[in-house]
Structures are given as structure tokens and as C-alpha cells.
Amino acid sequence: MTAQARWWPGRGAIALLSRNFLVWRKLLVPSLLGNFGDPLLYLLALGYGLGHFVGKMESLPYMTFIASGITASSIMNTATFEGLYSAYTRMSIQQTYAAILATPLEIADILGGELLWCAVKGLISAMAIIVVASGFGAISWRWLFLALPVIFLAGLSFAAIALCFTAIARSYDFFMYYFTLGVTPMFLFCGVFYPIHTLPLPVREIALVLPLTHAVLLLRPLLTGRLPPDAGIHLLVLGGFAFAGYILALRLFRRRLLV
Amino acid sequence: MPGQWQPPLPAVNSVRLELRALRKSYGGHPVLGGLSLQISPGECYALLGPNGAGKSTTIRAIQGLTPLDGGEVLLDGRPVDEWPGGGRGFMGIVPQSDNLDPDFTVSENLRVYGRYYGLSSRVVQQRMTELLEFVSLQEAAQRPIQALSGGMKRRLTIARALIHQPRLLLLDEPSTGLDPQARHLIWQRLRDLRRQGVTLLLTTHYLEEAERLADRVGIIDHGRLLAEDSPAALIQTHIPGEVLEVRRQDGMPPDPGGWHQGQVAASERAGDTLLLYGPDLSAVRVHFAGDPDVRLLSRQATLEDVFLRLTGRELREEENP
Ligand SMILES: Nc1ncnc2c1ncn2[C@@H]1O[C@H](COP(=O)(O)OP(=O)(O)OP(=O)(O)O)[C@@H](O)[C@H]1O
Ligand SMILES: [Mg+2]
């Protein structure tokens, strides 16, 4: 019996989103440096280094192939990191959620605000890569306006999954399970560096239920000037992860914070 | 400076708080055992109880942050979960441990918190100036939270709890760990707020704090109300007259023969001390003054005497499962 009954975030989510944005703005320079620096290193090392030997992949120059892949994996990394470490810090170390729950905001607002913020950060990191990769001529801007909402949706789904882990974590160490069993395998097997059809069948089938695969299958065409085939299915999978992750995270956060 | 300050907040529309038979247990261990309280509009009520008595749990329950096993919290006669936002829109909360936002400065803390209540930045800006003055933190406005002393953090937490001009202020041990200066400033401010009509519920371990601030005091233990009244009435009811503390220099129990029993209204042994209570203890004082080994302390009865008599003298931390 509590007053925390709402399932959907209200305007309060925007208040939390803007709180996180204000904190981010304070550390703008180092944060953006990471957003621009990392992809530059990846593109130089893999695009030029490895690309020299690979030549073309799926009839795209390797630099172009990998630029879209790294865009997708960077959304995953950024949204996941924010949803795990940063959200856990706010919830547990800083007791920010406890302070917020004394106001009319409910857990649904906090969760909604965090999800939006994680997706915004995913979008920022993806944009940084798109800008850098455009400098190498590795991105087509033709369908960029369609790619942006896809990037945002992908950010929401990775964040929703991450927040479920945050809601049950007892320390930062717990996140290593998800990294080793979730994030790293997705990074390596979901089509970032090579197309998944080269994988042996059972592995490919596993890859097909993972969200990063669908983000890559949407973003690679969109960022190289084509419209993705089977877009509906991919969008459905990403939306499904975001929705199911949200509902599960909400239940877990209620159990954690309302004691 | 405390005395000269003019209240920045308009007189508020006071709220009546009622707790009806709150029940709550953690892992089979009852923490609230059917606690009922009524706090009138504009009243200052102090909740006292040993560690683990259920004070913080009660405060959380009022905010709707603890699923209860039974009972109801009502504001102005209406259950909290029927109020928009659980009624938290007009409650201000000072939690037991500070949870200021360490990512922000003092003024940013107030600004960001105001947004959670949906206040416009113009309104927040204006109240912020007033509130920082109210808690004497004008000079610290641009400081990061890490650079504040414990007393400054506590004052900022109080300012933060007032940003939306609450009608009910819940303070969980507002002055624990503060020096006398900071404590006196906080007391002054709480009296200012009470004068404006804010209903106050505070928990404390400083019985002197309760004695000075509260219109009524409730003493709870194991989530049950043991006694409730004005501080003066509680003392009068539970402690007959003055108090004499008798101790021996060698640490042996004083008056082993029990001579005092016929002479006083009540007595109690606590460690090396014999506590005697009665309307007139002058004869007893004369009797013990003859013994050079005995040290006497004569004093007025306080709320602390009531508290210890009602809740016992054993330590509490160990009994929790
Ligand atoms: N989340 C929890 N899980 C299990 N037990 C809890 C939880 N929160 C509180 N308790 C237990 O409930 C009891 C009452 O706790 P509460 O914090 O309300 O006491 P309190 O009166 O505020 O004590 P203190 O004076 O030490 O602050 C304690 O025994 C405490 O251990
Ligand atoms: Mg407490």
C-alpha cells in the first residue's frame, strides 16, 4: 500500500533529465573529448590498419563498413555505461533518488528520466562518430534524419536492460557479469566488425536475438545511403527490449527503493 | 543574524496529519506495532524513541515510501495516496542522513530541487536568496557540497526542504552531530516556521531539543506509543518532583541497606548511581551529606528522566536481528 502507483513517467522525468544534463555540461570538455577521441582511434586503427588488408566488406570500403558498426556499438557502450555505473552512483552512493523521492516525483519518473538521459548520451556519442567518420568520407548523410530516431531507440533499449541490472546490483563489481556475458559478446558477435552471416548457424541464431544485431542491421544501411530491409522487425526487437526492460526495471526499482 | 531576520515565507495554510494504526515489519520483526498519532495544524510534535524504535520508518511511511502491512496516513482527513503526488507536494523532508546532490553547488542544489516540484526558475531564484539568508548560507552559495561543514549541510538540507513552501515539515534528527551554535540557529528557524503556521514533526535524541521546541512529545518504542503529552505534563505525570543523584566515590552502590525507600516517592538504581525522586528531598540530602564518601547531584526532573523510565536503560543496537 503506497502512493507509488504510476506506470508511466510524467513531467518529472524531464526534471531528472535536465538535472543530468546540467551535471554533464559541467564536464563538457573531457566528456566530448572521449566522445570524439575514441572513435577517431578506432577508425584509424581498424579502418586504415585492418582495412588495408580487408579491402571491401559486403561491397563497402572497410572504413565505411566499420564506421556504421562502431556507431551502433558506441550507442550500446554509452547508454549501458550511463545506465549501470552512473545510475548506480546516483541511486546508491549519492542517494540522489532518495532525495528525489521526497518530492512528488515517483519511481516511474526517475526511471523515465534516466532512460531518456542514457538515450541522449547514446545519441551524442553516435553523432560524434558520425561527424568524425564523415571526415573520412565514411558516412552518407542521405538518410541521417531516419538514423537519428533509430539511434535514440537503440539507446533506450540498451539503457532499459542496463537499468534492470542496476536495480539489483549490490556493488559496481556486479556489472562485470553483464559486461562479460552481455556487452562484450554483443560487441564481438553482432555484426560490428563483420556481417553475422559468416557466423556458424547456432551462433548466428543467438546473435539474432540480441539488440545490437538489430541496431547494426538498421544503422549500417541508413548510414551508407540505403534503406534497411526488414526494418519493421528490427524496430520491433529494439522497441521490445526497451519496453520489456522498462517494465522489469520499474518493478525491480520499486522493490529496491520502497522498503 | 538570527534575531533580526524577517520571515520570507508567507503564512501557510496549515495541515493536519493523522497516522492510524500503522503496522510494518521487516522479515517478521515488527517495527511499527499499530502506531497512531494526530498532529494538529500548526503544531510542533516531537517523536522520541531509542535507536530502532521506528521513528525513521514512520517518517518514510508518511511520505508513502514504505509499503505498510496495515494502517493509514491521512492529511487533512484524506488518505495520502488520494492526494496528487502522495501529498509530497506540500511536505518538506529533512532526512536523517543528508542527501544533497554532490554534483552541484549550494545554489544549484536549491535550483535543481525546485524543478522537481515544477517551480519556475524565476520563483526558485527569488526563494533561493531568501532561504539562503534564512539558514545563514548566503556566503556559501557558490560552494560545492564537499566544501560544506556538517552544520552547513544540515542547514542547506532544511533550506532545500522549504523551497516549495511546504505546509508540513518532517525532520528526522535535524540537529544530530551539530555544534551548539548550529543547533541553536536551527531551533530558532524551526520556531520561526512554526510561527508561520507550518506543521512540524521532528524526531530527535536530544530531549532538550524536544523540550524546547515541541508543543507535544510522543515517546515510542517498538513502534508503539508509550506516552504523549506536552513536555511539562509528561515530566509532571511520570516524575514526582525533583531528582537527587547519589553516587559513591569508590564506585560501590550507595545506600545498600535501602534506607531511602521509606523517604522518597520513587527510586531507581542505574549502574553506580542511585536516582531518587520526590516532591521534597531535603531530609534525604541532609542524611547523605553526612557521609564523606557520597557525592550528591540535585536537579530538576527533565524529559530525559521520563524517557529513561519509560524505555528502560539497556542499550538498543544489539537487540536488532
Ligand atoms: N530496509 C530495512 N530492512 C530491514 N530492517 C529495517 C529496514 N529499515 C529499518 N529496519 C529496521 O527497523 C527498525 C526501525 O528502524 P528505524 O530506522 O525506523 O528506527 P529509528 O527509530 O529511526 O532509529 P534511529 O534512532 O537509530 O534512527 C530497526 O530495527 C531497523 O533495523
Ligand atoms: Mg532514524
Q: For residue A3, name the pLDDT band (cuts at 50, 70, 90).
A: low
> Of the candidates B67, B81, B101, which has its C-beta nearest A99's C-beta?
B101
Q: What is the DSSP letter of B14?
A: -
Contact (Cβ atoms closer than 8 angstroms) between residue A148 and residue A123: yes
Q: What is the mean pLDDT of each run of 10 residues along chain B (321 residues)?
A: 48 85 94 96 95 96 95 94 90 96 97 96 94 95 96 95 95 91 91 93 93 95 94 90 90 87 87 90 89 90 90 66 41
Closest-approach residue (CA) in chain B for A18? B112
Determine the residue type at B154.
Answer: R
Phi (first) and psi of residue B225, to 5 degrees: -80, 120
Q: Is B54 in the pocket of ligand 1 (CB under 6 A)?
A: yes
Q: Does A28 touch chain B (CB under 8 A)?
A: no
Q: A107: Cβ–Cβ under 8 A, 6 or more apart, which residues?
A: A4, A101, A250, A253, A254, A257, A258
Residues of chain B with C-beta less than 8 angstroms from the C-beta of A259: 26, 66-67
- Average pLDDT rounded to a whole number, residues A145-170: 98
Contact (Cβ atoms closer than 8 angstroms) between residue B169 and residue B199: yes
Residues of chain B with C-beta less than 8 angstroms from the C-beta of A98: 95, 99
pLDDT of residue B12: 65
pLDDT of residue B10: 53
The fraction of chain A above a pLDDT of 70, given in percent, is: 98
Q: Is A259 in the pocket of ligand 1 (CB under 6 A)?
A: yes
pLDDT above 80: residue A149:
yes
Atom of ligand 1 nearest to the CA of B223: 14
- Predicted TM-score (pTM) of the model is 0.92
Alpha-carbon distance of B301 to B303, in angstroms, equals 7
Residues of chain B with C-beta less than 8 angstroms from the C-beta of A31: none
Q: Is B25 in the pocket of ligand 1 (CB under 6 A)?
A: no
Q: Is B176 in the pocket of ligand 1 (CB under 6 A)?
A: no
Q: A235: Cβ–Cβ under 8 A, 6 or more apart, which residues?
A: A150, A153, A214, A218
pLDDT of residue B2: 44
Phi (first) and psi of residue B94, to 5 degrees: -115, 100
pLDDT of residue B321: 41
Contact (Cβ atoms closer than 8 angstroms) between residue A72 and residue A154: yes
What are the distances in angstroms from CA B204 to CA B53, B54, B161, B229?
12, 12, 18, 16
pLDDT above 80: residue A5:
no
- Average pLDDT rounded to a whole number, residues A22-36: 90
pLDDT of residue A4: 66
> What are A80-138's pLDDT values in tens digits?
999 999 999 999 999 999 999 999 999 999 999 999 999 999 999 999 999 999 999 99
Pocket test for ligand 1, best of B29, B47, B56, B173 (most atoms within 8 A of CB): B56
Residue ranges of E strands in A29-160: 56-57, 60-61
> Of the candidates A16, A102, A105, which has its C-beta nearest B93's C-beta?
A102
Q: Does B65 touch chain A (CB under 8 A)?
A: yes
pLDDT above 60: residue A46:
yes
Look at phi and psi of residue A233 and say left if phi exceeds 0, alpha if psi is from -120 to 50, else beta: alpha
Q: Distance from the CA of B26 to the center of ligand 1, in angstroms?
A: 9
- Cell numbers linked to A23: 551535471
pLDDT of residue B320: 45
- The SS3 of residue B280 is coil
Q: For residue A40, name the pLDDT band (cuts at 50, 70, 90).
A: confident
Alpha-carbon distance of B178 to B153, in angstroms, equals 10
